[in-house]
Amino acid sequence: MSTPGVKLVGYIGLGLAGGPLAECVIKKGFTTLIRDADPERVQAFLKANQGLPVSEAPAGPQGFKDVDILITMVPNGHVVREILLGKDGIAPHMKTGCVIVDTSSSNPFGTVQLGKDLEPYGLRLVDSPVTQVRMHGINDGEATFMIGGDGKDIEKVLPVLEAMSRWRFVVGDLGKGHIMKTFNNYMTAAAIAALNDCFIVGHKFGIDPVQITDVMNVGTGRNYGTAHSIRAEGLTRSYASGYGLALLVKDLNINLDVASKAGIDTTLASLMHTTFMDALKEPDVEPSADYTECLKLWERRAGLKLKTPVGIKECEEPRDFPSPF
């Protein structure tokens, strides 16, 4: 793809989100260098995308010295900082004017500081975390980006972000994208907590949990959990939404930090962090657990087990659900 000022893109992080997003980039024709902490993942990616303009970045800190844009999709901002400015950091070896786009879910205050720390190297930083309107929507180029940064930097990286997404929102200067990400995940957690309450109480009164989501999906209670993740992955025990419970806990902690620095004391935010932290501590929940496994906490506390439905899928749109009458 011919985009002014962008001849080579770097992409670090090929996990559940990074892999599909990186595929979107190369399928749009951007020549791309990739890297991941897992060498096998890199080779699997290259094999799956033979014939496309992608190759593994040379080993060592100079592997991305020629890229015009570098995208990071890693677990958190600490990892981003280590990649760029750690012992074997790549930032000192990158060319002046390169714009780094952190699509990870990072602490916004760390992002602002990182931007300042990159300036002596002539590097620019944009934060552009990701969400989606349906499970695995990012696989089809339907990501939503929340973007923070300088206008000229955003203008430079926008064609690459467009390759990965359907919706893009510039929410302010550097760090504001990551603040918006914490809001998104806070709302997700609060809705899921309420939905899980409904399942447990409904069970006591003999109401089918799937029917609870059916009703809500054609009413004002519709949310990501009722239509997608908890309905299709939590109730079915599939637990494969692609988003880790530990990551949600981390994001809820960031949300608390944002509220605290704004001078806001929010009881609900604190309760959500504590609740999902407790879910992560459940005896049969692994550190790598999908966030839909949070339902186990509600079941244990109530001393019951919800029935596991068969053949239940996501509810894409309200019109997809037929009326029983």
136 pLDDT above the threshold of 70: yes
Judge whether 311 lies within some domain.
no
Q: pLDDT at position 320, please?
A: 56
pLDDT tops 70 at residue 2: no
Judge if 25 and 127 occupy the same domain. Answer: yes
The per-residue pLDDT for range 111-124, each reduced to its tens digit, is 999 999 999 999 99
User: Are residues 183 and 170 both part of a single domain?
Assistant: no
Same domain, 19 and 163: yes
Position 307 pLDDT exceeds 80: yes
- Spatial neighbors of 124 by CB under 8 A, at least 6 apart, are 97, 98, 99, 100, 115, 118, 149, 150, 153
Could you list the active site residues?
Answer: 181
Measure the N-to-C terminal CA separation of the chain; round to a whole number of Å: 52
Q: What CATH number corresponds to the domain at position 213?
A: 1.10.1040.10
Distance (Å, whole) CA 150 – CA 128: 12
Same domain, 195 and 228: yes
According to DSSP H, which parts of the chain are helical?
18-27, 39-48, 77-85, 108-118, 151-164, 176-204, 209-216, 224-227, 229, 245-261, 267-280, 295-302
- What total number of domains does the chain contain? 2
For residue 256, the enclosing domain spans 179-302
Residue 226 located in a structural domain? yes
Task: Answer with the one of 157, 174, 191 that is the final residue of a domain.
Answer: 174
Q: What is the dihedral of CA 241, 148, 75, 141, to 10 degrees?
A: 40
Q: Which CATH number is 89's domain given?
A: 3.40.50.720
Does a structural domain hold residue 309? no
